[in-house]
Structure 1
């Protein structure tokens, strides 16, 4: 998404790092650049507002639960796959084999039954 106007910080950079901004996981200098961008770019400001509202809602509903770091990493990995346009698998590719994915055992060798 881009508003089509030139900015010091490109819309794509802002949107690619929006969650880092929301979580204050970036240097203050980058936060200042993003704040300036939001001041001049309404589409990015709207996206920021929406994501901020979702984050507040999740915190309100699940605020007392700590999110395991491995879960956060998996979610962020899937977000990056989606952003890059790659196909996202229906199952968790970072987990080991599951019982549902393992082949089932056969009762015996295939072939005609003895009779």
Structure 2
């Protein structure tokens, strides 16, 4: 997405790091740079506002549920793979498949 106007920080860079920005996981220098971009780019500001609203809604609706330990471990494992640049398997390799048995009459 791009608004077509030239910016000091490109729209694609801002949107690539939008979730990190929302979670306050970007360095302060990038945070200031992105904040300035939102002030001058209404399409990116709109996307930011939408994602912020979704995040608040999810927190309000699902924030009280306990996360099962195995799900948490799987998500954290996937995040580790992503951060390390390793390929992500298409299916969960941590769960052993149970063989299908047929019942004879």
Shift of residue 62 of structure 1?
Answer: 1.1
Q: Over alpha carbons, which structure has the higher Rg?
A: 1
Length-normalised TM-score, structure 2:
0.70
Q: Does 1:70 align with 2:71?
A: no
Alignment of 1:1-115 (within 5 A): 1-65=1-65, 68=72, 70-71=74-75, 74=78, 93-96=90-93, 99=97, 104=100
Q: Cα deviation per residue 1:20-79 (whole Å; 9 max; x = unaligned)? A: 00000111111100000000000000000000000000000111246626326648x8xx
Q: Are the counterparts in 2 of residues 38 and 45 from structure 1 also a CA contact under 8 Å?
A: yes
Tell me the equivalent position of 1:83.
none
User: Which segments of structure 1 move beyond 6 Å, counting only runs of 4 or more?
Assistant: none
Unpaired stretches in structure 2, ≥5 consecutive residues: 82-88
Structure 2 distance, partners of 1:19, 1:35, is 13
Higher-helix-fraction structure? 2
Length-normalised TM-score, structure 1:
0.64
Q: Cα deviation per residue 1:76-98 (whole Å; 9 max; x = unaligned)? A: x8xxxxxxxxxxxxxx7251165
